[in-house]
A and B are shown apart, each in its own frame.
Chain A
Amino acid sequence: MKVGYFPGCSQTGTAKEYDTSLRKVVEKLGTSFDELKDWSCCGATSAHVTNHQLSNALAMRNIMIAEQQGLDEMVAPCAACYNRLVLSQHETNKHPEVKAKVESILETKFTKEVKVMNLLELFMKIGLEKIKENRKVELKELKVACYYGCLLVRPSEITKFDDSEQPESMEKVVEMTGAKTVDWNSKVECCGAAHSIARRDIVLDLSQKILDDAKKHGANVMVVACPMCHTNLDMRQTAMRHVNPEHQDFPVLYLTELIGLALGMDEKELGINLHTIKFNYNELVAEKAAV
Chain B
Amino acid sequence: MKIGVFICHCGENIGRTVDCPRVAKACEWLPGVEVSIDYKYMCSDPGQNMIKKEIIDKKLDAIVVGSCSPHMHEKTFRKAAVAAGINPFLVEIANLREHCSWVHDDIELATDKAIDLVRMSVEKVKRNQPLTTIEVPVTKRTLVIGGGIAGIQAALDVANAGYEVVLVEKEPSIGGHMSQLSETFPTLDCSQCILTPRMVEVYQHPKIKLMTYSEVEKVDGFIGNFTVTIRKKARHIDEEKCTGCGLCITKCPTKKKAYNSFEENLAFRPAVYVPFPQAVPNIPVIDETVCMYYKNGKCGVCVKVCGREAIMFDQQDKLVTEEVGAIIMATGYKLYNIDKKPDDSIYKGYGEYGYGKYKDVIDGLQFERIASASGPTEGEFKRPSDGKEPKKIVFIQCVGSRDESKGFSYCSKICCMYTAKHAMLYKHKVHDGEAYVFYMDIRSGGKMYDEFVRRAIEEDGVKYIRGRVSKITEEDGKYIVKGEDTLSGMPITIDADMVVLATAMIAQPDASELAQTIGIPYDKHGFFNEAHPKLRPIESTTGGVFLAGACQSPKDIPESVAMASAAAAKAMVLFGSDMLEREPVVAKVNADLCAGCFYCKKVCPYSAVEVREVKTRDGIVIKEIAYVNEGLCQGCGTCTATCPSKSIELAGFNNEEIFAQIAAL
Contacts and interface: CB of A to CB of B under 8 A. Distances in A.
A binds B: yes
B407 to A, nearest CB: 14
A166 B340 contact: yes
Interface string A215-258: 01000000000000000000000000000000000000000000
Contacts of A166: 340, 351, 354-355, 357
A163 B475 CA distance: 22
A163 B339 CA distance: 13
Interface in B344-361: 350-352, 354-355, 357
A163 B474 contact: no
A164 B475 CA distance: 21
B355 A185 contact: no
Contacts of B352: 165
A191 B282 CA distance: 59
- Give chain A's interface secondary structure class: loop
A233 to B, nearest CB: 19
B475 A165 contact: no
Contacts of B480: 185
Chain A CB count within 10 A is highest, among B350, B357, B473, B474, for B473
A73 B237 CA distance: 63
Nearest to B405: A157
Contact of A163 (B351, B357, B473): B351
Nearest to B476: A216
Contacts of A216: 475
Interface string B467-505: 000000111000010000000000000000000000000
A183 to B, nearest CB: 9
A131 to B, nearest CB: 25
Chain B CB count within 10 A is highest, among A164, A166, A216, for A166
Interface string A185-225: 10000000000000000000000000000001000000000
Contacts of A185: 473-475, 480
A216 B474 CA distance: 12
A166 B340 CA distance: 10
A164 B473 contact: no
Contacts of B354: 166
Contacts of A164: 351
A16 to B, nearest CB: 34
Interface in A34-71: none
A140 B259 CA distance: 39
A126 B351 CA distance: 28
Nearest to B357: A166
A82 B352 CA distance: 23
A165 B351 contact: yes
Top 4 A-B pairs, shortest CB-CB distance: A165-B351, A185-B473, A166-B351, A165-B352
Interface of A: 163-166, 185, 216
12 contacts: A163-B351, A164-B351, A165-B350, A165-B351, A165-B352, A165-B355, A166-B340, A166-B355, A166-B357, A185-B473, A185-B480, A216-B475
Given A163-B351, A166-B340, A185-B473, 14 more contacts: A163-B340, A164-B351, A165-B350, A165-B351, A165-B352, A165-B355, A166-B351, A166-B354, A166-B355, A166-B357, A185-B474, A185-B475, A185-B480, A216-B475
